[in-house]
Structure formats: C-alpha cells, structure tokens
Amino acid sequence: MNSTDNTPTLARLPTLAHGPDWTWRNRFRALGCEYHTELQPQPMHESHWIAHSDACAALLGLPAEWQMDPRWNALEVFSGNALWPGMQPLASVYSGHQFGVWAGQLGDGRALWLGEIDTTSGPMELQLKGSGLTPYSRMGDGRAVLRSSIREFLCSEAMHGLGIPTTHALCITGSSLPVRREALETAAVVTRVAPSFIRFGHFEHFSQHDEPDSLKRLADFVIEHHYPECLNTPQPYIAMLGTVARRTAELLAQWQAVGFCHGVMNTDNMSILGLTLDYGPFGFLDSYDPGHVCNHTDHKGRYAFSRQPSVAFWNLHALAQALMPLIGNSHAALDAIDIYKPFYADAMRRQLRNKLGFTTTEAGDAGLIDWLLKQMAYEKTDHTILFRRLSRFSSAEGTDNSEVLGLFKDRKFIETWSKAYGDRLRSEGSNDAQRAAAMNRVNPSVVLRNHLAEAAIRQAQGGDFSEVQRLLKVLQNPFDESIDGTDDADFPPDWAQEIEVSCSS
C-alpha cells in the first residue's frame, strides 16, 4: 500500500447536482489502489477566477461562457471546493531521480487527478494542481502560488500554440489564502488536462519497490490505452520503450528549436507520452546561449539548455532500467532506447532545416547552420528575433541583406554567411515569398519570455488579471504576423536580466 502517515483526513466535499454533459471513464482509477490514494481536494475559500483558456475548453467540448454557468459552479469545482458528478479524485504515487540522484518516493504532492472524460480528441484526464495536502506532500504544503500557477498556465497554452506536445491548462483560480515561499504569497489552483499524467517515475516506483506485478500492470495499461500498436509486436514492452524514446527525441528537438529550457528534467517530470510536463523554473532563451541555466537553484547546470537532449537520454536509461523486470534482456532494453540518438539528430536537423527555410537537404547544410549558431552564441544574438527576421532574407544575387542580419555586429560574418546562405537558397530554387510564409509558420514571433510572464504576474498580484488573459491570446497564436513589431515580439527590457526563477513554486 502506498498510504503514508500524513494522509490528510478531510471532510467530504459536496458533489454538485449538475456538471457538463461528459462521459467519464476514469480508467487510471480502475487500475487499482496500489497506484494511488483516493482523497478530496482541500478547499480554497474565497476563490476567484484568474484566467481560462477557450482553446482548452473547446478541447473538452465545453460551451462558450462555461465558467459563468450558475448550474455548474465551475469556480468552486476548479478551486477544489466541490465536485461534479463523475469526478473521483485521487493522488498518484511515483518515485524518481532528481538531479541525477535517486530520490525515493515522490508522488502527487499537490496535484489531484479528478477523472477522465471522452472528448473528440480522445480521452482526457483532468487534474488540479495546488489543491492541498496529499499522502505524498512530504514536507510541502500541497499548495501552489499565484506566480508559478500563472507561469504554468501560460506556458502550457503557449507550447500548444507552438505545436509542441504538452499538457494543457484549462483555468486558474486564486484566493487570498496565504502561502509561504521565500516571501508570503497567495494560493492558486491550475486545472491541467492531458491524455495521461503518467511519468517515467511511475515505472521507477514499482521497479525500485520490487513490485513486478504492479509494474507489469502499469506497462500493460499504458500499452493498451496509449500505445496499442505495440501490442502487435513480438515484444510489446521493448516496443513501448522504443516508442517513448522516439517521442522524447521528437519533443526534445522541438524544445531546442524554439529555445525552451525546462529547468527540472528529473525523471518524475518526464511524461510517458512525450509531453512537456510540470512547468516550474522553465525559460525561453532570449539571447542564444547554449550554456543557459534557467533554474537558479541548478548550481551545477545539469539542466543547461544544451544539455537537455543528453539528459533526456539519461532519463530514458532510467526508464529502461525500471522496465528490466519486464524486458529481462539488458541489451534489448539498451537497443530500444539507443534509437533516441539518431531520431533526435534527424528531428533536430529537420527542425533547423525548416527554421532556415530549406526544402531540400544538401551536404553543406549542417556546416552552414553550425556557423550561424556559433556566431549567435558568440554575439549573444536574440534567438527568437533572429530566426523570425531571417524570413525576410532575399535570395536574389547581390542583395544587401544587412538589415535582416543587422543583429550581428561582425560585418565580415554578415557578408560571408549571407553569401553562403543566398547561394544555398538559390541552389534549391527557393521562392522568397513561399519561403517567408513557411519560415513564419515555424519561427514564432513571440515566446513566453520571462519578462512577459513577469509583467502579467505583477499585475495579477495587484488584482488585475487582464494581462494574463491578453498574453494568453497572443501566445496561443505565436506565428501570427500581426504580432511582429509589437512589444510582445520585441527584445527583453534590461530589467529582465534580474528576474530569477527557482524551484520554489
């Protein structure tokens, strides 16, 4: 059994008479009590709406103005004060490696799974984050502060807008409930949505606790519901591991291509579905710095931007290790995850080729791209702005593209690289207008830079939530040309340098 001494004893919450017309499935709950503890959220009184995502609501089939429907009282439900019929809350147990070290049992210390519903995009699970103590809270208070909740909410929807696999966020509610971090802050709850919240750490838990039957049932569950194609292979567990490796490779290439730094790539934050999961001290690159560490508590830089792809492989290794009781043969397990490397390399090449607007592959491409990235790192060029501007590059022979490449100071570089890039584009008969349109579909005009989130957070802490909602709309359409030239797409202000993001959330 997974219950521990600090199991909160909580009064039962009211179940409201009406909720949305959802079909509940709750398959993870049916998996059995060794995977979770059923419990109720802890109420967060005097709650109020902070923000909601219409895109996520549409995914769940909710009607417009769902949050205002008096029959449903969604504010109470998504603050953890009431349940809708069909919700069966529980906290799941997992373990994991944190900063490369085995950390033992972790689990949903402040998240509660509410249930799983059918949607037109397949079954989706709903989860509250910050809804109070669970048996897995350890020394924590089970709460999340408004600041980190806004960051998670905005970034989930921003990643979705960028086309990067991620958990979604439906809404944030806030309250005056005080929460102590470095300073006294207030509590908030984010409602997250995903096909599954199962992590590498769920497998590590049952493996390390020497519970092979539970490990097997978890793997069978994931295969049956999420990777059914693996069932028709001679070795379904090896096939599952390979599929996770491929999805993780694809995800990492997408992170690297937009300059996303996760900040805490512990194995308990790695999704078995290859989704971006658990937004904490993340950051998007402003200037291109491969050594950038976005989490100020990561003193050794384990999760530095350029290390993310190899950390993901390390994490896959931990998953392979966890699955050994099912796979038996360590060579087969290692072979299964080894495909991560060529897959990642391929995916990254594809991402970079698209970022530069190439439609063909040529021998010198890697060198040309590498040359550009090295200069960007040397001159600390703004990552997002440089790639967005590059779509305006003219491939006509003899054109002076120094305005497009004006972010660089090194004239010699501008001249020589421009010439090489122009030659490369002409060699594939690139059409400037078509290329610009294609590049603007992969190089965003806006990403959730720290200063954008910070401005929304500061206003929200003062009681004005309009900037959160405005920024959300911008981030949901990050390729929209109407954003070009606005403050959202501009360089970070000087004060952005002083923003420190830590694990404290």
* Residue with Cβ nearer ligand AMP (269 or 381): 269
Q: How distant, in Å, are the alpha carbons of 9, 11, 371, 414 from that of 6?
A: 9, 15, 56, 62
Residue from the set 43, 89, 142, 444 that interacts with ligand AMP by CB under 6 A:
142
* Residue with Cβ nearer ligand AMP (137 or 256): 137
Closest CA to 187 of 294, 80, 38, 56: 80
- Is the Cβ–Cβ distance between 496 and 450 less than 8 Å? yes
What residue 43 binds from ligand AMP, Mg ion, none (CB within 5 to 8 A, per partner kind)?
none
What residue 280 binds from Mg ion, ligand AMP, none (CB within 5 to 8 A, per partner kind)?
ligand AMP
What residue 291 binds from Mg ion, ligand AMP, none (CB within 5 to 8 A, per partner kind)?
none
Stretch of 141-149, 166-174, 409-417, 483-491 lying at the interface with ligand AMP (CB under 6 A): 141-149
Query: Does 278 engage in binding with Mg ion (CB under 5 A)?
Result: yes
In the shown chain, the binding pattern of residues 81 to 120 toward ligand AMP, with x for contact by CB under 6 A and - for none, equals -------------------------xxxxx----------
- Residues in Cβ contact with 316 at an 8 Å cutoff, skipping those fewer than 6 apart: 200, 241, 244, 245, 248, 337, 340
Closest CA to 280 of 260, 295, 301, 291: 295
Q: Where are the beta strands (DSSP E) in 364-426?
A: none
What residue 142 binds from Mg ion, ligand AMP, none (CB within 5 to 8 A, per partner kind)?
ligand AMP
* Residue with Cβ nearer ligand AMP (59 or 503): 503
Give min distance, CB of 316 to ligand AMP, in A: 18
Residues near ligand AMP (CB under 6 A), total: 16
Residue 269 gets which letter from DSSP? G
- Identify the burial level of 449 via C-beta atoms within 10 angstroms of its C-beta, where 0-12 means exposed, 13-18 middle and 19 or more buried: buried
> Which positions are catalytic?
268
The secondary structure of 42-86 as a DSSP string is PP--S-EEEEE-HHHHHHTTPPTTGGG-TTT-HHHHTTTS-B-TT
Stretch of 188-196, 215-223, 261-269, 482-490 lying at the interface with Mg ion (CB under 5 A): 261-269
- Is the Cβ–Cβ distance between 273 and 198 less than 8 Å? yes
Give min distance, CB of 158 to ligand AMP, in A: 19
Residue 36 carries which side chain, given as an amino acid letter?
H
Give min distance, CB of 488 to ligand AMP, in A: 28
Hey, which residues between 260 and 299 contact ligand AMP (CB under 6 A)? 264, 269, 278, 280
Give min distance, CB of 74 to ligand AMP, in A: 24
Q: Which residue has the tokens 């001679």?
A: 234
- Is the Cβ–Cβ distance between 351 and 373 less than 8 Å? no
Residue 24 carries which side chain, given as an amino acid letter?
W
Q: Which residue is nearest to Mg ion (CB)?
A: 278
Residue from the set 29, 52, 143, 389 that interacts with ligand AMP by CB under 6 A:
143
Give min distance, CB of 268 to Mg ion, in A: 5
Closest CA to 446 of 480, 404, 497: 480
Q: What are phi and psi of 365, to 5 degrees?
A: -60, -45
What residue 8 binds from Mg ion, ligand AMP, none (CB within 5 to 8 A, per partner kind)?
none
Structure tokens at 158: 């921003």
Where along the sequence are the contacts to ligand AMP (CB under 6 A)? 106-110, 136-137, 140-143, 264, 269, 278, 280, 503
Where along the sequence are the contacts to Mg ion (CB under 5 A)? 269, 278
